[in-house]
């Protein structure tokens, strides 16, 4: 991690003056943030602060009322998450988006299925690659052909994270990826997220665990009721400061 490097590298993601309201409720107010390759930024704030909304704006689930999103210095407007995906942006949502009745390997390739020359699904190859991937990432599931419905919450989350990290080329957005996980599973996910730095991928992660935020992030961005209270370098702040930024109480 080098501050100098962060300054000179071009931002992967630039959010400029993002505004989003749902009817009369302002969820995000004038939000700006840059994310650089190989950087992990934690997004923190109380329930209802607008964290999930922000991630959904970047991934194309919600369209902002105003503001600009730039990916690799090019203005983008994702019609939906599949467009964002095609540009190297992967998301792990708080409310998991897996196909419950499909096996793990089909979920891993959802929307990007491998086909054989004759046009049939190449199940063997998808199965093999999935097996390899879950082993690499140490996701403990009965098998790559297990049906999602039959997996535990932690195992499903493991599959969602494996899928996102496998396909992410530039940017990965994680909404409370470890909220439902035990201690060992959480440690594993943190290791996987930290390893994304080496692949030069930018990470925006929402977490309620300040311990986790301080373990893995380079910077911390605090939201309160849709307003960006501040951004701090993790190494130059502490939990007390972040807590008072989150709550507004000194
Ligand atoms: N689809 C939606 N329709 C209406 N209001 C929404 C919607 N999504 C979020 N909100 C509102 O926007 C605010 C921010 O929500 P959210 O982004 O989910 O917060 P967080 O993830 O920080 O807990 C809340 O007041 C919430 O009720
Ligand atoms: Mg949320």
Instruction: Check whether 9 has a pLDDT greater than 50.
Output: yes
DSSP 10: P
- Would you give the distance in Å from CA 193 to the centre of its chain? 9
Q: Which two tokens stand for residue 19?
A: 């505004």
pLDDT at 1: 46
Residue extents of the structural domains in the chain = 3-88+168-247, 98-166
Q: Which residue bears the tokens 């493991």?
A: 158
- The alpha carbon of 134 and the centre of ligand 1 are apart by a number of angstroms equal to 33
pLDDT above 70 for 136: yes
Give the pLDDT score at 17: 97
Q: Is residue 4 very low, low, confident or very high in pLDDT (cuts 50, 70, 90)?
A: very low
pTM of the model: 0.91
State both tokens at 171: 């940017």
Using CA atoms, how far apart are residues 104 and 146, in angstroms rounded to an integer? 6
Q: Report residues whose beta carbon is within 6 angstroms of any ligand 1 atom.
A: 22, 25, 27, 45, 47-53
**Does residue 46 have a pLDDT over 90?**
yes
CA 54 – ligand 2 centroid, Å: 9
Percent over 90 (pLDDT), the chain: 64
CATH of 3-88+168-247, one of 3.40.50.300, 3.40.800.10, 3.20.20.150, 3.40.50.1260: 3.40.50.300
Token pair, residue 201, equals 């991928």
Going by pLDDT thresholds of 50, 70 and 90, the confidence category of residue 8 is low
pLDDT digits (tens, 9 = 90+) for 232-247: 999 999 999 999 999 9
Pocket test for ligand 1, best of 18, 22, 29 (most atoms within 8 A of CB): 22
**Residue 2: its pLDDT value, please?**
45
């Amino acid at each position: 991690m080098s501050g100098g490097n962060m300054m000179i590298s071009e931002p992967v993601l630039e959010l400029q003056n993002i505004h989003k309201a749902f009817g009369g409720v302002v969820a995000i107010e004038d939000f700006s943030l840059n994310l650089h390759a190989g950087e992990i930024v934690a997004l923190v704030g109380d329930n209802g602060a607008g964290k999930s909304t922000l991630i959904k704006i970047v991934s194309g689930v919600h369209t902002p009322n105003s503001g600009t999103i730039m990916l690799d210095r090019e203005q983008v407007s994702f019609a939906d998450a599949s467009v964002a995906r095609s540009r190297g942006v992967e998301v792990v949502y708080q409310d998991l988006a897996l196909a419950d009745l499909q096996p793990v390997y089909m979920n891993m390739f959802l929307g990007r299925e491998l086909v054989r020359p004759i046009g049939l699904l190449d199940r063997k190859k998808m199965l093999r690659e999935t097996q390899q991937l879950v082993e690499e990432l140490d996701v403990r599931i009965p098998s790559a052909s297990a049906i999602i419905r039959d997996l535990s919450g932690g195992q499903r989350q493991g599959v969602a994270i494996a899928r996102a990290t496998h396909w992410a080329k530039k940017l990965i957005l994680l909404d409370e990826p470890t909220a439902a996980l035990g201690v060992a599973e959480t440690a594993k996910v943190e290791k996987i997220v930290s390893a994304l730095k080496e692949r030069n991928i930018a990470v925006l992660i929402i977490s309620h665990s300040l311990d986790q935020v301080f373990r893995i992030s380079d910077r911390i961005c605090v939201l309160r009721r849709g307003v960006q209270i501040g951004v701090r370098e993790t190494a130059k702040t502490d939990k007390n400061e972040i807590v008072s930024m989150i709550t507004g109480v000194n």
